Amino acid sequence: MSIKYKPHYHKLLLLVIITLCIIFISLIEQPLTLYQQTFFSAIICLAVLLINFGKGRFITLFLMGIGILISSRYIFWRISTTLIWDKYPDIFFSLTLLIAEIYAWAVLLLGYFQVCFPLNRESLPLPADPTHWPSVDIFIPTYNEPLSVVQNTVYGALAMNWPEDKITIWLLDDGGREAFCRFAEETGIRYVARSTHEHAKAGNINHALTLAKSEFVAIFDCDHIPSVSFLQRTMGWFLADEKLAMMQTPHHFFSPDPFERNLGKFRQKPNEGHLFYGLIQNGTDTWNASFFCGSCAVIRRKPLDEIGGIAVETVTEDAHTSLRLHRLGYSSAYLRYPLAAGLATETLSAHIGQRIRWARGMIQILRIDNPLLGKGLQLSQRLCYLSSMMHFLSGVPRLIFLCAPLCPIFFSVGLIDATVTDIMSYVLPYLFIVVLINSRIQGKYRHSFWNEIYEMVLAWYITLPTLVALIAPAKGRFNVTAKGGLIANKYVDWQISYPYVIFAILNLCGLIAGIIQVSELNGEAALLKTICLMWLAYNTIIIGATLAVSIEQKQVRVSPRIEVVFSGHLLLTNGTRNPCSVIDFSEGGLGITLHGGVDNRNIEKNKPMTLYLHTGDEECAIPVEIVHAFKNKIGLKILPMTHKQHIDYVRATFSRDNLWSDWHNNLPRDKILKSFLTICWVSLKGYYQFLLFLISPMKKK
C-alpha cells in the first residue's frame, strides 16, 4: 500500500508545518525600514510570479509558505502600526476593520492547512467472490418531494451492481404518501413512514435504523441517483480498514444552480460546491477529518450504533455525526470521484435558505460540541473542523469589507494610520501574492474572485442566524430544500435582492461623492482617498454581479437535458437497426445522431420504435417515438415504460459508470485576469438588467 494511505503519515506532515511556522514567526516580526520593506515586497512578488511557472506539489507547498509569511507579516504590521488610537469614532472603525482582516487571515491559514496535501484516494478492489461482500441497507429519505424526483433515485439504487441478497432498499417517506407506498410495493423495495416526525431527516433515518439490520448503510438524498458502481467503488476501503466508519463521495449536480443558470455559466465555470467537494474534502482526508455530508455516503453500522445513530442536536446532523465518530477514534474517508448526481436548487431564495441552515448548524456544533475542546480528536482534526465552521462566520467580515470604504467618504473617518507608500509596500504585495497562490491551489475548482460573489450573496442572510446560533444554539429548525421546480418567467425576487439594491445605491453614491472629494484635495490626502475609491469600485463590481445572480432566469424543463456521448442503436419502423450516438438525455426523452446514410422515408414521427442503449457488454431496449428530425439529428420521446425498463434506462443513463467525472475534468483552469474581466462584464449586465426591470413598470404607465 502506498505511503500516502498509511494512517500516521499526516503526523509527520503536521510536525513539518509546525516547525516551519516557528521559523516564520521570527521573519514576521523582523523590523524593516520603509525602503527595505518596499524592496523586500518587490523581490517577493517577482519571485512568486516566477516560481509559479514551476509545476509539482513541492512548488505549491513552497508558495503556500510564502503566502503564510507575507500574510502574517501584513497582519503583524496592521496590529503593531496602523491602528488609530487617538480619535473617536475612528478607533471604532479602525478596530472593526482589523478584526475582519484577522478573521480573513485565520481562514486563509486554516484553508492552506486543510488542502496542503490532498490525499487523492483511489478505490480498493473487493474480494473476487461476491459472497464475501458485506450486506448494505440503502436509505432514501424523503418528505415533500414529488414522486417524479424520487423514483429515479430508487431505480438507480435497484440498478447498482451488488448481490441482490446483500442489498435492501428503504424508501423513508416522512410525508406518509399513498402513492409512494404503492410505488415501493410495485418496485419491491421496503417502505417506511413514521407516525411522528421529530428531528426531521435525522429522526427519519434513526427510525429506519431500528428496522434495518445490514452491516452498512448507504444514504442518498431523494434526488441523488447513484451510479451502478457506487458500492463497488466505495466498499473496498471498509474491508481493508476496520476502523473506517464513513466514506463520503461528492455531491454532483446535473442541473445548474442559481449562479450557473442566472449567469449563464453552467459547465463553463466550476460551480459553488466544486471547491469543497473537489479540493477541501480531498485535503481534509489527509488529516482523517473528511466528514459526512448527508448524502452519497456509506457508514459502518457498528460505530453508528455506538454514537446513538445520526446526531439530532443540530440542523447539520451530518457533520455532527462525523465529529462524534471521530471522537470515538474511528476514521473517515473521501473518494473524490462523483458516483451519484442530483438536482441543484432552482432558485436563489431556495439556495440561500439551504445555506442558512448549513451556517446555523455548523455554528450550533461549534457552540455545543466545540471541536477544539473535549477528548478524542487529533490536533489536525480539530483544525479542519474549525476551518469548516469558521467559513460560515464570514457574513459579518464580508459586510465589514463592504461598508469599510464607504465610511471615510460619508463620515470622514480614518480606517488605518498609514501613508500611501506604506499601503503600496504592504497591502498590494499581500493581495497580489494571496490571489496568485489561491489561483494556483484552487484553479481547477474555483476561479479567482468568484468566491467574492458567492459570499456576497450569502453575507446579509447568514449573519443574523450565525450570531443567534452563537448566543442561543438551540434556536432554529431544519428546513427541506425544494427540488424539481419550474420557473415560468424571468423575474427579480425583490424580497431576496433588496439588500443588494441598497448596497448598490450606497456604493454608486459613494463613488460620486468620493470623486468630488478627490477633486477638492491634493497631495497625500487625495491619494489616500483615491485608494479608498478603488476599493469602493471593486465592491461595486461585485455587487453588480450579485444583482445579476438575483435575476431569476427561465427554467421550463422539469428534468434537464444532459449532454453526453455514448452509443446505441435505433430500430426503425421498417425493421432496420441503425447505429447511433446519444448526444443528450433527460427523464422523458433523448437526442441522438444516426450514423451513416439515413433514408428520411424511414424516419416516421409519432410511431413506436425501440432504442437500444449500450452499457458495457449489455444493452437495454427502451420504447420511444420520434418527435422531430433534422437530417441525422433526431429527438426521441420515451413512451410509457415498465419498472424493469425504467431501471434499465436509468442504468444506461443517469447511473452510467464514470458519466459525471468528465464534467469536472473538462472545466478550464483559472486565468486571473480573464476571470476578473468576466466578472466585470457580468456586473455590467447585472446593473443593466436591473435598470430594465426598474423602468419597465414606468413604460407600462
Catalytic (active-site) positions = 174, 318
| SS (HEC) of 233-294 | HHHHHHHHCCCEEEEECCCEECCCCHHHHHHCCCCCCCCCCHHHHHHHHHHHHHCCCCCCCC
Closest CA to 353 of 490, 427, 472, 458: 458
Cβ burial 270-300 (10 Å sphere, 16+ → b, else e): bbbbbbbbbbbbbbbbbbbbbbbbbbbbbbb
CB 67 within 8 A of CB 437: yes
CB 335 within 8 A of CB 298: no
Q: Which residue is listed with cell 494556483?
A: 440
The DSSP call for residue 2 is -
Backbone angles phi, psi at 6, to 5 degrees: -70, 135
Instruction: Report the alpha-carbon distance of residue 285 to residue 335 in Å, rounded.
Output: 9
Could you check whether the bond before residue 473 is cis, i.e. omega within 30 degrees of 0? no
Q: How many other C-beta atoms are found inside a 10 Å radius of the C-beta of residue 701?
A: 4
Closest CA to 15 of 389, 378, 373, 376: 378
Q: How many other C-beta atoms are found inside a 10 Å radius of the C-beta of residue 611?
A: 24
The DSSP call for residue 200 is H
CB 636 within 8 A of CB 589: yes
246 strand-pairing partners: 299, 332
Report angle CA 450, 454, 459 to the nearest 5 degrees.
135
CB 277 within 8 A of CB 365: no
C-alpha cell at 166: 446483500
State which amino acid sits at residue 406: L
Burial of 249 (0-12, 13-18, 19+ CB in 10 A): buried
C-alpha cell at 306: 455506538
For the chain, the straight-line distance linking the first and the last C-alpha, in angstroms and rounded, comes to 74
Helix axes 420-442, 672-700, angle to 10 degrees: 100
CA-based R_g, the chain, Å: 28
Instruction: Report the alpha-carbon distance of residue 529 to residue 533 in Å, rounded.
Output: 6
609 strand-pairing partners: 624
Backbone angles phi, psi at 583, to 5 degrees: -105, -20
The DSSP call for residue 625 is E
630 strand-pairing partners: 633
The DSSP call for residue 668 is P
Q: Which residue is listed with cell 447513484?
A: 226
Residue 363: how many CA atoms within 13 Å on its side-chain side? Answer: 27
Instruction: Report the alpha-carbon distance of residue 662 to residue 272 in Å, rounded.
Output: 18
The DSSP call for residue 308 is T
CB 291 within 8 A of CB 327: no
Q: Which residue is listed with cell 437535458?
A: 561
